[in-house]
């Protein structure tokens, strides 16, 4: 993907600068939130089940919920071994391949049109990633 040059727009530059500030504050807030949640969970450890789960507490009118637990992932080359030992713990999720569906619109529009009756397209949330801000356009 190449970078497209566009003329300077003061409003857009200000908005991108604001976005940069907000993203930095958001990252700082997330780090603090994770730190606080970990400390709270540690303090509440004696009240939560050892195997994880969710529990709601009421501390003199302050109601809060703590969720603890584990996430699991299959190690490399583990699927075949798990299928041999306990296949019931595996799940198969069928998903649409976005890239293959987009390609089908180019390669076989008739087939893509037929499929479109069974596929709902919803707009994704816009995303702006800042690579950095320079004062290059301010001269």
| Pair type for strands 53-59 and 62-68 | antiparallel
pTM of the shown model: 0.56
- Judged against a pLDDT cut of 80, whether residue 131 lies above it is answered with no
Please write the tens of the pLDDT for every residue from 90-119: 988 889 999 999 999 999 999 999 999 999
């Amino acid at each position: 993907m190449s970078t497209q040059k566009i003329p300077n727009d003061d409003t857009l530059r200000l908005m991108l600068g604001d976005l940069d500030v907000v993203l930095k504050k958001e990252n700082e807030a997330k780090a603090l939130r994770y730190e606080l949640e970990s400390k709270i969970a540690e303090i509440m450890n004696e009240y939560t089940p050892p195997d994880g789960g969710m529990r709601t507490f009421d501390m003199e009118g302050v109601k809060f919920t703590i969720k603890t637990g584990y996430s699991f992932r299959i190690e490399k080359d583990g699927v075949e071994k798990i299928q041999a030992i306990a296949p019931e713990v595996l799940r198969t999720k069928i998903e649409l391949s976005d890239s293959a569906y987009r390609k089908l619109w180019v390669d076989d529009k008739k087939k893509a049109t037929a499929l479109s009756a069974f596929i709902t397209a919803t707009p994704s949330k816009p995303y702006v990633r800042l690579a950095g801000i320079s004062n290059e356009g301010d001269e």
